Amino acid sequence: MEIRELGHLVLYVRDLDRSARFYRDVLGWRQILPVPGPDGEREPRRLAVFNAPSGRTHHELLLIEVGEDAAAQPAGRRVGLYHFGLKIGTTDDELREALATLREAGTPVLGMSDHTATHSLYIADPDGNEIELYVDVPGVDWEKPEETIGVPAKPLRL
């Protein structure tokens, strides 16, 4: 077996409408389902499907509503997803634009890091799923990952 690429993410969310607005209106994903009918009716199962504006594949993000009474993610060290990364461009200027968009939308920035290979902003979606928004640093020698991946992060100033 050979893994060719990361295909898609599926997240459980408490409030589908709130989460869909975040991923669509703040992060800029293209919502492809559900497509409301003529009277605004929805599918019986509450889900939303998105792909990136590039249209790289059929879908990259699926949200499934589980309701407001769903258990929260435990805080601190735990087994499971830490965060997922979304490449948003190739320059710090694009990262600055993203930072301005996040601030305008009232989305708190949890951290900003220079990882040598990437420059990153960290945020959380409305349910606390952590997201890394990053740009690759130009000129990094990917043939020497020991020099770029896993090195201690430095503060990032944009």
Per the structure, the complete domain to which residue 18 belongs is given by 9-65
- The set of residues, in sequence order, having a beta carbon less than 8 Å from that of 29 and lying 6+ positions away, is 23, 50, 51, 52, 53, 60, 61
Percent of the chain with pLDDT over 70: 93
- What would the pLDDT profile of 70-89 be if each residue is shown by its tens digit? 998 888 888 988 999 999 99
Residue 45 pLDDT: 67
- What would the pLDDT profile of 22-74 be if each residue is shown by its tens digit? 999 999 999 998 754 455 555 556 899 999 888 888 899 999 999 999 998 88
Closest CA to 99 of 74, 83, 67, 122: 122
DSSP state for residue 107 in the 8-state scheme: P
> How many domains would you assign to the chain?
2
CATH number at residue 143: 3.30.720.110
**pTM recorded for the entire structure:** 0.89
Residue 40 pLDDT: 55
Closest CA to 15 of 125, 133, 131: 125
CA dihedral for 93, 95, 96, 100, sign (positive or negative): positive
Same domain, 103 and 142: yes
